[in-house]
Structure 1
């Protein structure tokens, strides 16, 4: 095996960390899973902290001169910027990866992510600096998006490559556990400050604390992930090109079809992701008199249900196949899309039913949405191709979902949001049908 001191991607920091873990001859799937879950939880925590603030803080703090609806729509427009800039971050950090190593890339990306998130905690409001408040918020949000493009570490692919063949679905669901875990913590923090502070104190300083917590979580995640990416097992797969970044344009030319299919296959899941997390909170804040901390409590219940459903998805996928599970889930999401407007607008018990049913479907589908066409990529392009697929999937399926759903619902009623979700289920069905390679390789 090539000496790590001569590997182009090796750095002094990585070599030092590798010496610490040199006693491990082979990294176990369980260890990889822990690193993946911690890493994804940190990323999604930043996501949910910002998303919740977009619904209940920024409309009043940054856009007080607009109506509550208009302020929320502008908040969601800025929310989408991270998904637009994320592919830019992927291109930049893939270059950093090739020239300076994965440790350098992850360190810069996670500190940029945590720094951008923590900077929002110091954001002055419109009453202090006027429209510069929105400009700074947009800048910090773009920083989050660029950083997210650099947080792709290949650990999910490493986990898949090390997983037993009859447990690929089980290990594929593990990275997805980060989303409901992050929602559980983020919702709990905001619910705590909402319930213990006056409305004025919450809008003045209480909302800022979750953003500080995000930076601390990112630091912990950095060490957890570096411990894995500097192991000899990861190095071996890098040298064999299983986890080596390939040039972006070359990857697009060779695997553009797989990237597009991979982005649209989980569209229903990604659309549902925001329809049961971000959108309903904005609707409750705008059109009901319910205490926000109460609905955040319901979201916490939904997050627990989502965790359980993701775990179940791993077992089911290994029995029927990931493609089949995504197809059945898309049918379930289509049915849910018809009923969801009635549930969300049907009172307290109906809201609970909306969240529980939504998170069951989300867990089953989202649990297998990661790398659904990874087997279609060659070993030389799997690392970069999977990153680009993820970027495009989040941009198309999730980036504008809260904005579009709220705008449609405000104009045409909640039924319009159901139609929007239904369209995502239809696109997923079409993408899965077209992807004949996936049908052949993964049942």
Structure 2
């Protein structure tokens, strides 16, 4: 177990969150994150199926698809910026307010995409505005992950930190399921020409109603206990980003490298495979959409499993197992997919997502606990977003380019293997569990308050000495 941050003055033992408060936080973290990922992955599905001809018209379909996937990557360029900005204010103002702002950014941009005129209507302004809105989506989701994870982990019981932290992680496959089900429904209801003309806009416009639900849930929760402690102690950092870089720079870089393989797997199967399955393997679009949905159901269950196992056997142990499995399964993964047999494709997805879930399950709590609560939002957000942009943001674009160049899936498999090996090597070097983020772990053994000297700084000084 990592170091414990003692209870600070102003926060009494009887302020321990109730079971009802914890359920509210978990619901707000899971549902809110699922809706944000619905918005984010909706763009991915549209990039694979519709955005090429709508916003990047060209006589070469591959060029249009590459351009669409490039705008998908723009969201990942924005994510670290969102992580830095919202991490800064999340450590200074609070976690809850940043979650509300991230929801407004993501929801507003998604609805605007649904109403955006295409290239035929406004010419070059169409792709320019699309890229701008995608950038806003990236800002929103860049700050979302850190806030949702910290709210869950900092409310967690002492022995269930990974499980609580996995609820925002489970929002990702839930978002994939929702976005693809909506696309399946729309493509089934409307004729192809109607879908191409305006039917594709409906899933984006639906986001407006979903955002209202998420905002309602998030407005009903209280600020996290850990941030309350920081605020009561008067130890709010004036410049969290500077503190993270100067005191925890190596930890941020290692945690970023650890986080590379997991998002790459997520975006290869949920975004690139839609294009690969239909364009290369010749499978019907509905078949690929359903395979991605079924795989996301497996993903949802296995993230929960990975979190539960990591609370029992250790976060680092489970993460290491997952990263090792990624490197071993990279080539069999594509060998099964290339059979074009839906059953074997689903098997390939399921095993790879089990490996990914052994990483994603413990990942949230593990990264959160690398940093003291005074800079936890900044540290966790930056580390996670480094991994996301290097591993996930460019994965569909890189995979598409590799296949276009070599006409083989082997280079893509090698690419996944290298990312898995990078995460594996990094987790072996990372010292996990430095700061126990659970509220209950912040209590002194006798339940008394610590003195007014900051527990965060005391723990930090003890660790460094």
Give the TM-score normalised by structure 1: 0.87
Q: Distance in 1 between matches of 2:111 and 2:352?
A: 31
Distance 1:101 1:186, change over 3 A: same
Aligned residues: 424
Moved more, 157-166 or 25-34: 25-34
Q: Distance in 1 between matches of 2:81 and 2:388?
A: 14
Deviations 1:359-380 (A, max 9, x none): 3223232222224233221232
Q: Distance in 2 between matches of 1:135 and 1:440?
A: 44
Distance 1:125 1:158, change over 3 A: closer
Deviations 1:210-235 (A, max 9, x none): 11122322222222223224477863
Specify the alignment match of 2:188 in structure 1.
Answer: 195
Task: Tell me, yes or no, if the aligned pair for 2:326 and 2:417 is still in contact at 8 Å.
Answer: yes
Distance 1:267 1:102, change over 3 A: closer
Task: Tell me, yes or no, if the aligned pair for 1:262 and 1:371 is still in contact at 8 Å.
Answer: no
Task: Tell me, yes or no, if the aligned pair for 2:155 and 2:224 is still in contact at 8 Å.
Answer: no
Match for 1:116 among 78, 102, 109?
109
Provide the aligned C-alpha RMSD in A. Answer: 2.9
Distance 1:243 1:287, change over 3 A: farther
Match for 1:415 among 395, 410, 413?
410
Structure 1 residue 395 corresponds to structure 2 residue 389: yes
Distance 1:253 1:192, change over 3 A: same
Distance 1:232 1:282, change over 3 A: same
Task: Tell me, yes or no, if the aligned pair for 1:184 and 1:304 is still in contact at 8 Å.
Answer: yes
Moved more, 226-235 or 276-285: 226-235
Task: Tell me, yes or no, if the aligned pair for 2:95 and 2:227 is still in contact at 8 Å.
Answer: no
Query: Gaps (5+ residues) in structure 2?
Result: 1-7, 437-465
Instruction: Compute the displacement of 1:171 (Å).
Output: 2.0
Q: Distance in 2 between matches of 1:169 and 1:249?
A: 28
Distance 1:231 1:272, change over 3 A: closer
Structure 1 residue 256 corresponds to structure 2 residue 249: yes
Specify the alignment match of 2:350 in structure 1.
Answer: 356
Instruction: Compute the displacement of 1:98 (Å).
Output: 6.9
Match for 1:151 among 141, 144, 147?
144
Task: Tell me, yes or no, if the aligned pair for 1:51 and 1:79 is still in contact at 8 Å.
Answer: yes
Task: Tell me, yes or no, if the aligned pair for 2:91 and 2:376 is still in contact at 8 Å.
Answer: no
Instruction: Compute the displacement of 1:400 (Å).
Output: 0.7
Instruction: Compute the displacement of 1:56 (Å).
Output: 0.3
Deviations 1:250-283 (A, max 9, x none): 3212211111111111322121111211111111
Moved more, 357-366 or 108-117: 357-366
Instruction: Compute the displacement of 1:351 (Å).
Output: 1.8
Which of structures 1 and 2 has the larger relative contact order (alpha carbons within 8 angstroms, sep 6+)? 2
Give the TM-score normalised by structure 2: 0.83
Specify the alignment match of 2:134 in structure 1.
Answer: 141
Q: Distance in 2 between matches of 1:62 and 1:193?
A: 20
Distance 1:155 1:245, change over 3 A: farther
Query: Gaps (5+ residues) in structure 1?
Result: 5-21
Instruction: Compute the displacement of 1:425 (Å).
Output: 0.8
Deviations 1:84-139 (A, max 9, x none): 12222334445555777656544443222111111111222222222222111111
Q: Distance in 2 between matches of 1:294 and 1:52?
A: 14
Match for 1:217 among 180, 193, 210?
210
Structure 1 residue 165 corresponds to structure 2 residue 158: yes
Q: Distance in 2 between matches of 1:140 and 1:39?
A: 20
Deviations 1:21-69 (A, max 9, x none): x9x8786433321121112112211111011001001112112214221
